[in-house]
């Protein structure tokens, strides 16, 4: 028999669930007791029962079970019992890095914790696991001072990322995601390193590198993709130059310009702690311009001969170069256009979600419509189109419950859902399929259709 709360339950005839200690988007974490070994444990219990979420929950257990490291919370068991899907883990108690950041922490202590975090990530990456949700609330510092990485709930095997991540899927916490995630690209270990850079910036600078006073999520996303962060020393002069340079490398927009591994970052941090030079390798210098590269240095004492007027002689080569440059620019624009279009579409979606939350329905409808139009231009974006159509329909339903919609708006939302449902069905997106069908039925039950 399934009960409404797991508290007091004995799962798998072994794990007693005692009290709630934390809640997340799809699971709750409880303090519990392993009655066989008489040791305290943390029991993570799934709250969302959809098929896709249960598979993701199982992936979490499988990913974490592969990891055995002093700076990573251990997984002891996983399964289903009494109607609950659960993971039994090491009980890590202490203060999260979020709490330490709020209290204030010295540079040297913070760097020492970052070394432990890098060692945990280096180990996980070597096992083929990407965390994908590195943020202060997922990092626990025990009373002994040891840092523990928690919640591999978004973890993926590195070999699975390109196969199971749909373009445009945005997961994790907005402020810590690498820019490539917003552009619909599959992530790799450098995404974890970018998130590490955000955490380091926040701990050392007491603020996020990209934030909005108005809580505008779209502005935050735009900044992650396009704007350079302010150097840390401009906020906290006690940060060493080498550490500032290292954090800025971690926050590079281009993944190829970030450090290659967490181990490389750990080595740089240790050098900073010991006062060593060259802790953070400098970013690559800009390449010399073609003109500078082509001009040979003058020999000492060589006579300087007057240069002839080469304008007429260079006219034809210049035209050819201009044509070549134009062709290259056209090719570059064509290559980048899909990513830019997808980026714009995701920005419109985020704007629509924010406007809906604030009941600015005309603005929300305009944003969702623009997103749908952009996604229609892109091949391979059917799922993102369908998800956006679902968001628009949900907004229309919310508007209808307030008596603010029209029959024409409802009819349009119905048409969008009727197109989206086969897409969800074909991709086995059961949660979205169920939501779409429920909203469609709700529209059809509205009396008089607000005519």
- Residue numbers annotated as active site: 133
Place of tokens 């950041």: 101
Give how far Cα 87 sits from Cα of 60, 65, 74, 171, 339, Å: 9, 10, 11, 21, 38
Question: CB–CB of 19/30 below 8 Å?
Answer: yes
How far is residue 191's CA from residue 258's CA, in Å, rounded to a whole number? 9
* Axis-axis angle for helices 107-126, 189-205 (nearest 10): 170
- Enter the tokens of residue 67: 């990891």
**In angstroms, how far is the first alpha carbon of the chain from the final one?**
46
């Amino acid at each position: 028999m399934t009960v409404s709360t797991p508290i007091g339950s004995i799962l798998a005839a072994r794990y007693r669930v005692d009290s709630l200690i934390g809640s997340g988007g799809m699971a709750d974490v409880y303090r519990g007791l392993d009655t066989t070994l008489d040791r305290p444990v943390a029991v993570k219990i799934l709250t969302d029962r959809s098929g896709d979420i249960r598979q993701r929950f199982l992936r979490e257990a499988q990913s974490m079970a592969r990891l055995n490291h002093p700076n990573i919370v251990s997984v002891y068991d996983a399964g289903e019992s009494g109607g609950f899907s659960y993971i039994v883990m090491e009980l890590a108690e202490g203060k999260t890095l979020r709490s330490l950041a709020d209290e204030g922490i010295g540079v040297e202590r913070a760097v020492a914790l970052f070394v432990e975090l890098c060692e945990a990530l280096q180990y996980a990456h070597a096992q083929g696991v990407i965390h994908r949700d590195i943020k202060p609330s997922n990092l626990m510092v025990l009373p002994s001072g040891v840092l523990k990485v928690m919640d591999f709930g978004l973890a993926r095997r590195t070999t699975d990322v390109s196969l199971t991540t749909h373009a445009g899927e945005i997961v994790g916490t907005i402020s810590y995601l690498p820019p490539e995630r917003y552009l619909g690209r599959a992530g790799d270990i450098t995404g974890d390193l970018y998130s590490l850079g955000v955490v380091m910036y926040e701990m050392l600078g007491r603020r996020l590198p990209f934030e909005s006073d108005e809580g505008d999520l779209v502005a935050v996303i735009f900044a992650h993709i396009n704007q350079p962060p302010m150097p840390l020393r401009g906020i906290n002069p006690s940060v060493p130059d080498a550490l500032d340079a290292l954090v800025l490398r971690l926050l590079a927009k281009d993944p190829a310009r970030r450090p290659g591994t967490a181990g490389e970052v750990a080595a740089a941090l240790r050098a900073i702690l010991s006062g060593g030079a060259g802790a953070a390798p400098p970013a690559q210098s800009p390449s010399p311009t073609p003109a500078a590269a082509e001009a040979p240095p003058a020999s000492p004492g060589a006579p300087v001969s007057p240069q002839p007027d080469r304008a007429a002689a260079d006219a034809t080569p210049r035209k050819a170069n201009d044509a070549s440059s134009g062709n290259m620019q056209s090719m570059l624009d064509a290559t980048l256009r899909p990513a830019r279009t997808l980026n714009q579409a995701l920005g419109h979606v985020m704007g629509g979600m924010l406007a809906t939350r604030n009941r600015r329905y005309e603005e929300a409808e305009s944003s969702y419509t623009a997103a749908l139009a952009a996604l229609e231009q892109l091949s391979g974006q059917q799922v993102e189109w369908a998800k956006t159509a679902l968001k628009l329909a949900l907004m229309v339903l919310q508007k209808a419950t307030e008596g603010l919609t029209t029959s024409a708006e409802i009819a349009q939302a119905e048409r969008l859902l009727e197109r989206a449902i086969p897409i969800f069905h074909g991709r086995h997106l059961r949660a979205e399929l169920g939501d779409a069908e429920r909203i469609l039925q709700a529209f059809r039950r509205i009396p008089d259709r607000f005519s």
